[in-house]
Amino acid sequence: MTRIGFVGLGNMGMPMCENLVSGGFDVVAFDVRKEAVEAIVEKGASGALSAAEAANGADVLFTMLPGPTQVEAAMLGEDGALAAMSPDGAWIDMSTSTPEAVDRFSAATGSEGPVMLDAPVSGGTTGAREGTLQIFVGGAPDAFERYRPILEVMGDPNLVIHVGGRGAGYAVKLCLNLLWYSHSAATAEVLTLGLRAGVELEVLHRAITASAANSHFLEHDVLSVFSGDYDESFHLALVCKDLGLAVDLGRHTGTPLELSALVEQLHRRARAQYGDRGGQLAAARLLEDATRTSLRTSIGEVPASEEDGRA
């Protein structure tokens, strides 16, 4: 039986790990929160006292952590997991990170170390629970094919895709997040503008979704805002972290990101106003509060947000 180590049992990591347990794998899991480890043990996993203990003897180690700082601490810090791994194993990082971080991880693993794949995800907590995540995998094609069956336990088989060499998965995820939050900010402005110009919100929404300006965000994700739900399944602290990583990638690649920098600052202002645990759709709330304009209407059912996140 394939033995899996899993580090990071947050809103995304917990259901992802549960799916691996349900898939019949021998899973040893760790999180800095003792109660999270106890919860996954009740689901059938074994608990570990450290990342290194989760990695020891694992054929595959998954990390699902907030960002590169936490990943580096878990893998390379004191009692880090990398040193406990077999050189014949594989480390698959499903966190949102940066291609630049791959250089540090590559130097640590070396040519004789375990295989590494970056495999961040999209689909939110709903996708994590249902095992239907979209997974963007960067790394060697043969390694991708070898570990694809395990990834498909957590993701939709049609949406588990190889996107390029090491670091490409991180890049795709950052691009996705950046565009989604740009949609969020732009949609809030457009709907508020139309409403204040005298157009009924439901009419405006119907007109735009029937036009060339339509988007998945307009058809689905903004419905949460219409019901007053700013989606706290993904917090503003993580939104700002992800947007910061995307803008940093622009600097690293020499890509001008003027609009993106404004989107990042807008969400930082929302974080300052609503706190770290504010919902990821708070850009709309920020504009509602500033203009005293409520974006409320009953248009269809309101599903859970299908974003990213993020993680």
Domain borders along the chain are 3-165, 171-291
Q: Taking residues 127-138, what's their average pLDDT?
A: 98
Is the pTM for the entire model greater than 0.85? Answer: yes
Q: Taking residues 215-242, what's their average pLDDT?
A: 96
- Rounded Cα gap, residues 221 and 180, in angstroms: 10
DSSP strand E in the chain: where? 3-7, 26-30, 46-47, 60-63, 90-93, 115-118, 121-122, 133-138, 155-164
| Sole residue written with tokens 């508020």 | 192
User: Is the model's pLDDT at 126 over the cut of 70?
Assistant: yes
User: Is the model's pLDDT at 185 over the cut of 50?
Assistant: yes
Bin 5: left if φ > 0, else alpha if -120 < ψ < 50, else beta: beta
Q: Taking residues 99-125, what's their average pLDDT?
A: 87
| Sole residue written with tokens 């709907």 | 191
Q: Taking residues 128-153, what's their average pLDDT?
A: 98
User: Is the model's pLDDT at 107 over the cut of 90?
Assistant: no
**Positions marked active-site:** 173
**Residues near 118 by beta carbon (within 8 Å), at least 6 away in sequence:** 92, 93, 97, 102, 137, 138, 139, 166, 167, 168, 169, 170
Better-scored residue on pLDDT, 62 or 298: 62
User: Is the model's pLDDT at 308 over the cut of 70?
Assistant: no
Q: Compute CA distances 280 → 240, 268, 286, whole Å.
A: 9, 11, 11
Better-scored residue on pLDDT, 261 or 79: 261
Which residues partner with 167 through β-bridges? none
Q: What percent of the chain has pLDDT over 70?
A: 96
pLDDT of residue 95: 97
| CATH superfamily, domain at 3-165 | NAD(P)-binding Rossmann-like Domain (3.40.50.720)
- Rounded Cα gap, residues 263 and 189, in angstroms: 12
The span from the first CA to the last CA of the chain, in angstroms, equals 28
SS3 call for 136 = strand
- pLDDT, mean over the chain: 94
Reported as a pLDDT band with limits 50, 70 and 90, residue 94 is very high
Assigned CATH class of 171-291: mainly alpha
